[in-house]
Amino acid sequence: MNMQPSEVLKPNLGTMPEPPPSYATDGAEMPFGIEEMFFSKTDKRGVIDDFNDVFVRVSGFSGEDLCGAPHKILRHPDMPKAVFWLLWNGLQNGEAVGAYVKNRTKDGRYYWVFALAAPVADGYFSVRIKPTSEIHKQVIALYEEIRAAELTEKLTAEESAQRLLQRLRDLGYPNYGWFQSAAFGLEYEARQQALKAPPMMDVVNTKVASQMTQDLQRELAALAAEFDGAEILTANMKIFAAKLDQGRAVINEVAKNYDLMLRDIQGHLKTLLALPQSGGIWSTPEGQKASFMLCGYHLLDEVVHDYEHEKIKSGDPATPEEMHQIQSLRSGYKGHSDDAVSDCVKSALTIQRRIEFLLRMVLGLSTIRIACRVEAGSLRQSAHGLDTIVGRLDDFQDRIETRMVGIQQLATDILDRIGRPQGNVK
């Protein structure tokens, strides 16, 4: 299904009603509560076919205005088209997309939302919350910059999306998937705090485990780099041996064995290093995917509840099909999160076992190193300088053992967080 950005289809809106002719805004913000949530459902072209009361009240459009209108009816002129390009790119690739959107009300005011949109059977379903995290302030400035570039440099939507992605990379997010996971996690957390709601422990644990998984990968990479750097030690040992009259063969043999073991350990270590996940627009590490999906699941939980009540209140109860669609979207988020968590657990377990095995191999390295020390002792007069090399080997082994024990601890901490049954503090 993976489409290239250039292949993303623009929705064909045919003869759908156009947004209001005037884009005048009076600059005032349309207030709404942190506890409020909007949701809407569109068809595959982005034409609205269902929505809730909050949507009507805040947007200022009547039910009649909204029903059958393109979502573009809410488009604010400050919004970079890059964001909508990314939104459609993700949705048409089957991704759930999280994005900050500034919308325009019918009377020209504005309101900001963090929107979570996802494909459903016959269209797209999106939920919106009030953004209150620090990251939102950064995004407002970023959107201003991108929108200005669109207008002055006459960028196409795709060119502008590439510009936005580049700026996100500058800010430390390798792709849009990373950014939306971080942003959604922070918005969800900020909303829970503002609502004085107890933290969802599964969200907290998944977020912490995701951070620890990234630390773990960094530690593994640092360990692998230590091994790469150690090659110089055995090379020095061989150069040293070449200068000896007596003991040359023994020291050479020691260096060769040490080298072989180093390479063996290096090989095992490389298999534990995850491939970089920054390729494409959407790929994210499992831990981040898990927390993004979990936040989606909890939001959808609220939607399912509100939707049913609102529909009953309106005298037009939700049909079983409508309820089924939202419920399966909610289960979808949970399913994706569970899969991602289970992948994290599997890789933490693999790392734990392999490091245990590698620690035994490092013990083997110690034996060779001790043989080298003994040899250095017996050659003391003629082998001045071998002590220094052996001393460096001692330091190297201390460092790798410390790192390996640290890695095992991190893997254990991850498993303690997400590898056992979870429950929410309620």
Ligand X SMILES: Cc1cc2nc3c(=O)[nH]c(=O)nc-3n(C[C@H](O)[C@H](O)[C@H](O)COP(=O)(O)O)c2cc1C
CA distance 41 to 126: 6
Query: Burial of 126 by CB count in 10 Å (0-12 exposed, 13-18 middle, 19+ buried)?
Result: buried
Q: Which structure tokens are listed for 39? A: 């949701």
Give the neighbor-by-neighbor strand order of the sheet with 110-120. Answer: 48-51, 38-43, 123-129, 110-120, 97-104
Quote the least distance from Cβ 318 to ligand X, whole Å.
Answer: 19
Q: Does 42 bind ligand X (CB under 6 A)?
A: yes
Q: Using CB under 6 A, pick the residue from 8, 86, 101, 139 that binds ligand X.
A: 101
Q: Which stretch binds ligand X (CB under 6 A): 71-79, 189-197, 325-333, 368-376?
A: 71-79
Q: Is the distance from CB of 46 to CB of 13 less than 8 angstroms?
A: yes
Nearer residue to ligand X within complex by CB, 304 or 362: 304
The DSSP secondary structure of 27-94, one letter per residue, reads: --B----TT--EEEEEETTSBEEEE-HHHHHHH---HHHHTT-BGGGGB-TTS-HHHHHHHHHHHHTT
Quote the least distance from Cβ 53 to ligand X, whole Å.
Answer: 16
Residues in 73-92 at the binding interface with ligand X, rule: CB under 6 A: 74-75, 79, 81, 84, 87, 91
Q: Which stretch binds ligand X (CB under 6 A): 68-76, 223-231, 250-258, 278-286?
A: 68-76
Q: Give helix 176-194 / helix 134-153 axis angle, nearest 10°.
A: 140
Nearer residue to ligand X within complex by CB, 32 or 124: 124
Query: Burial of 404 by CB count in 10 Å (0-12 exposed, 13-18 middle, 19+ buried)?
Result: buried
Strand partners, 123: 43, 120
CA distance 364 to 16: 73
CA distance 200 to 295: 9
Q: Using CB under 6 A, pick the residue from 71, 163, 354, 369 that binds ligand X.
A: 71
Q: Does 334 bind ligand X (CB under 6 A)?
A: no
Q: Does 97 bind ligand X (CB under 6 A)?
A: no
Q: Using CB under 6 A, pick the residue from 37, 46, 230, 290 that binds ligand X.
A: 46
Nearer residue to ligand X within complex by CB, 46 or 131: 46
Q: Is the distance from CB of 112 to CB of 130 less than 8 angstroms?
A: yes
Residues in 108-127 at the binding interface with ligand X, rule: CB under 6 A: 115, 117, 124, 126
Quote the least distance from Cβ 20 to ligand X, whole Å.
Answer: 12
Quote the least distance from Cβ 24 to ligand X, whole Å.
Answer: 16
Nearer residue to ligand X within complex by CB, 26 or 245: 26
Q: Does 96 bind ligand X (CB under 6 A)?
A: no
Q: Is the distance from CB of 202 to CB of 424 less than 8 angstroms?
A: yes
Nearer residue to ligand X within complex by CB, 90 or 419: 90
Quote the least distance from Cβ 337 to ligand X, whole Å.
Answer: 21
Q: Does 72 bind ligand X (CB under 6 A)?
A: yes
Quote the least distance from Cβ 291 to ligand X, whole Å.
Answer: 22
Quote the least distance from Cβ 310 to ligand X, whole Å.
Answer: 19
Nearer residue to ligand X within complex by CB, 123 or 174: 123
Q: Is the distance from CB of 219 to CB of 303 less than 8 angstroms?
A: no
The DSSP secondary structure of 350-409, one letter per residue, reads: HHHHHHHHHHHHHHHHHHHHHHHHHHHHHTTTTTTTHHHHHHHHHHHHHHHHHHHHHHHH
Quote the least distance from Cβ 102 to ligand X, whole Å.
Answer: 8
Q: Does 103 bind ligand X (CB under 6 A)?
A: yes
In the complex, the residues that contact ligand X under the rule CB under 6 A are 42, 46, 70-72, 74-75, 79, 81, 84, 87, 91, 101, 103, 115, 117, 124, 126
